């Protein structure tokens, strides 16, 4: 599989010089669907073992698969979200191997003719750079069941609830060049899937799992031999696994050894990868078209209908936030990373100063949420309350400083910001007479500072501070500033 990325990525140091890491990812994303891919059984997570198993899922004799239309629609929706080629004719194949959690002895997957072809994902990196990651394909397949080896001293148990659940395998080109990029790619892919509503992206429940292909090479050199790392089930583990594996490969090569193509398992407890099976031990899956299923065919109208139902995706939303709200790329990127955050922001910004709104949502709100480990949906400050605070700042009712106090009160106690400001006397003083009195008082009390300020106009800030203190922070800082300058003649 060729990489589409031409420029050299970030490099890491080895004993013999710089190395480049080359990473491709295969992400298994569970399709958000009530029923499994080929049976009517429920695809819900968390039921008692074997509670969601149809005769088809159990591989009973004479049982036949019937494609779940909705899962196909979800795959097409995802393909469109990845700006990918949609294949109106695709084929389900059987991937044959024996394992107790694979009841029929084969997995129904798509091999040579997947439902979705090439696409792209734009990945924003910390630091403002954006890279383009090629998508090789997306295909539909069944999940296997789960073997439980810890339930009985000398027997293994099998839970088939997951057997037959629809997965999308999304294969990237080897376009990623660092652990950071790999994690950012996974994060972006997850955001797109969640925007589309085609996968809940819940890595803890296993509804998104990643296999990471890692190789190393000298900058600009030919691609090295890759190892596939299985079982990498969080953003953090992706970064860990890549770093560990790259270092391992560099050490081997620099020690005079060669990399063997193999499948390795990530051990999240130790943060290591270890050999699972070599290329020689790889299964011969004997893929062939599943004769129980007709080729999957749909028409342009179907694709058009799905396309028409697509929501605005993160990239488009980010562009719009920058264009319509005048946000910078960073704020816009942070806001669109989750659909809920973007929606929250838009509710706050509607009819208000959007930049101010973005500033408050990104810095104050997200900062606080992160600190307390809360998701946007769990925010004690609602979008309406946040919007109200922004309005109170904009119309000069409160200063930014007071706004922080109001935010704190709403966060801990709840309540309507306008009412809080009113009842607790937090309103900004806009009575110019009162402000002027305070200014006069400060000037009169500090003749020495007055002289200094005349020589060095930036000293004006000190006076503003004094006045703000005297007014309990409620004076309008802008007005105070202007008044002091006028009085001092600077």
Q: What is the binding site for other proteins (CB under 8 A)?
A: 55, 58-67, 94, 96, 98, 100, 103-106, 156, 158, 284, 286-288, 291-294
Cα–Cα nearest to 263, from 225, 217, 233, 230: 230
Task: Please identify which residue in the block is written with the tokens 């398992």.
Answer: 265
- Compute the least distance from the CB of residue 161 to other proteins, in Å: 15
Collect all residues with Cβ–Cβ distance below 8 Å to 44 and sequence separation of at least 6. 34, 52
- What is the Cα–Cα distance from 382 to 386, expressed in whole angstroms? 6
> What are the DSSP calls for 31-85, one per residue?
---SB-SSSSSB--SSPSTTSS--TTTTT-TT------HHHHHHHHHHHHHTT--
- What does each C-alpha distance from 28 to 92, 470, 475 come to in angstroms? 17, 61, 57
Burial 302-339 (b: 16+ CB within 10 A, else e): bbeebeeeeeebbbebbebbeeebebeeebbbbbbbbb
- DSSP code for 111: -
Q: Which residues contact 356 (CB under 8 A, 6 or more apart)?
A: 390, 393, 394
Q: Which is nearer to other proteins, 285 or 411 (CB)?
A: 285
Q: How far is CA 239 from the centre of its chain?
A: 14
**Exposure string for 201-237, b = 16+ CB within 10 A, e = fewer:** bebeeebbbbbbbbbbbeeeeeebebbbbbbbbbbeb
Count other C-beta atoms under 10 Å from residue 486's C-beta: 11
Give CA separation, 437 vs 71, 175, 441, 484, in Å: 71, 66, 6, 11
Indicate the residue among 142 and 178 with the shorter CB distance to other proteins: 142
Cβ 58 to other proteins shortest distance, Å:
6
Write the DSSP string, 148-181: E-SSSSS--EEE-SSTT-EEEEEEE-S-B-SHHH
Nearer to other proteins, 22 or 158 (CB): 158
Strand-pairing partners, residue 121, are 133
Closer by beta carbon to other proteins, 106 or else 244 = 106
Separation between Cα atoms, residue 141 and residue 74, nearest integer Å: 13
Q: Which of 33, 39 has the CB closer to other proteins?
A: 39
Nearest residue (CB) to other proteins, 158 versus 179: 158
Which of 106, 325 has the CB closer to other proteins? 106
Q: Report the nearest approach of other proteins to the CB of residue 167 (Å).
A: 20
Q: Looking at beta carbons only, is 60 or 375 nearer to other proteins? A: 60
Q: Is 292 helix (H, G, I), strand (E, B) or coil?
A: coil
When the beta carbons of 66 and 384 are compared against other proteins, the nearer one is 66
Q: In terms of residues, how long is the chain?
A: 490
Residue 45 or 287 with smaller CB distance to other proteins: 287
Measured from the CB of residue 127, what is the shortest distance to other proteins in angstroms?
Answer: 45
Tell the smallest beta-carbon distance from residue 9 to other proteins (Å). Answer: 34
How many angstroms separate the first and last alpha carbons of the chain?
68
Cβ-based nearer residue to other proteins, 295 or 311:
295
Q: Which residues pair with 406 in a beta bridge?
A: none
Q: Provide, rounded to whole angstroms, the least separation between the CB of residue 94 and other proteins.
A: 5
98 vs 256 by CB, closer to other proteins:
98
Least Cβ distance, residue 290 to other proteins (angstroms): 8
CB of residue 310 to other proteins, shortest distance in Å: 28
What's the closest the beta carbon of residue 335 comes to other proteins, in angstroms?
45
Provide the minimum distance between the beta carbon of 41 and other proteins in the complex, in angstroms, as a whole number: 14
To the nearest whole angstrom, how small is the minimum distance from the Cβ of residue 43 to other proteins?
A: 19
Give which of 136, 215, 164 is closest to 55, Cα–Cα.
Answer: 164
């Amino acid at each position: 599989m060729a990489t589409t990325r031409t420029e050299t990525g970030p490099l890491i140091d080895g004993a013999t010089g710089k190395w480049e890491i080359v990473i491709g990812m295969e992400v298994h994303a569970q399709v958000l669907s009530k029923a499994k891919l080929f049976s009517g059984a429920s695809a819900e997570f968390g039921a008692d073992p074997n509670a969601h198993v149809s005769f088809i899922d159990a591989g009973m004799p004479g049982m036949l698969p019937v494609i779940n239309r909705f899962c196909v629609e979800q795959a097409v929706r995802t393909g469109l979200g990845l700006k990918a080629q949609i294949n109106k004719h695709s084929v389900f194949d059987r991937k044959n191997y024996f394992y107790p959690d694979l009841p029929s002895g084969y997995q129904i997957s798509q091999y040579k003719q997947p439902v979705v072809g090439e696409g792209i994902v734009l990945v924003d990196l910390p630091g403002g750079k954006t890279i383009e990651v090629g998508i090789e394909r997306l295909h539909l397949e069944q999940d296997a069941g789960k073997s439980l080896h810890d339930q009985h001293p000398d027997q293994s148990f099998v839970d088939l609830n997951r057997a037959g659940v629809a997965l999308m395998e999304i294969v990237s080109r080897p376009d990623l060049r660092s652990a950071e990029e790999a994690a950012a790619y996974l994060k972006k892919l997850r955001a797109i899937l969640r925007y589309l509503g085609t996968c809940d992206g819940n890595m803890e429940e296993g509804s998104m799992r990643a296999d990471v292909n890692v190789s190393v090479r000298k900058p600009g050199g030919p691609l090295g031999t890759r190892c596939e790392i299985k079982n990498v089930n969080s953003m953090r583990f992706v970064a860990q696994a890549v770093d560990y594996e790259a270092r391992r490969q560099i050490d081997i090569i620099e020690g005079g050894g060669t990399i063997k193509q193999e499948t390795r398992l990530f051990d999240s407890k130790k943060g290591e990868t270890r050999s699972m099976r070599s290329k020689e031990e790889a299964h011969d899956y004997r893929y062939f078209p599943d004769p129980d299923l007709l080729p999957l065919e749909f028409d342009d109208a179907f694709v058009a209908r799905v396309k028409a139902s697509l929501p605005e995706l993160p990239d488009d939303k980010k562009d719009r936030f920058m264009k319509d709200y005048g946000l910078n790329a960073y704020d816009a990127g942070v806001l669109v990373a989750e659909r809920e955050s973007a929606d929250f922001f838009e509710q706050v910004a509607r009819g208000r100063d959007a930049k101010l709104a973005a500033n408050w949502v990104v810095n104050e709100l997200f900062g606080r949420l992160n600190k307390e480990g809360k998701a946007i949906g769990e925010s004690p400050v609602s979008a309406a309350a946040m919007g109200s605070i922004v309005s109170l700042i904009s119309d000069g009712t409160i200063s930014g400083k007071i706004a922080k106090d109001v935010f704190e009160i709403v966060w801990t106690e709840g309540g309507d910001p306008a009412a809080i400001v009113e009842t607790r006397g937090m309103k900004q003083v806009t009575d110019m007479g009162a402000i002027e009195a305070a200014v006069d008082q400060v000037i009169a009390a500090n003749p020495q500072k007055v002289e200094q300020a005349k020589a060095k106009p930036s000293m004006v800030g000190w006076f503003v501070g004094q006045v703000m203190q005297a007014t309990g922070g409620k004076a309008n800082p802008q007005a105070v500033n202007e008044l002091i300058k006028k009085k001092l003649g600077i």
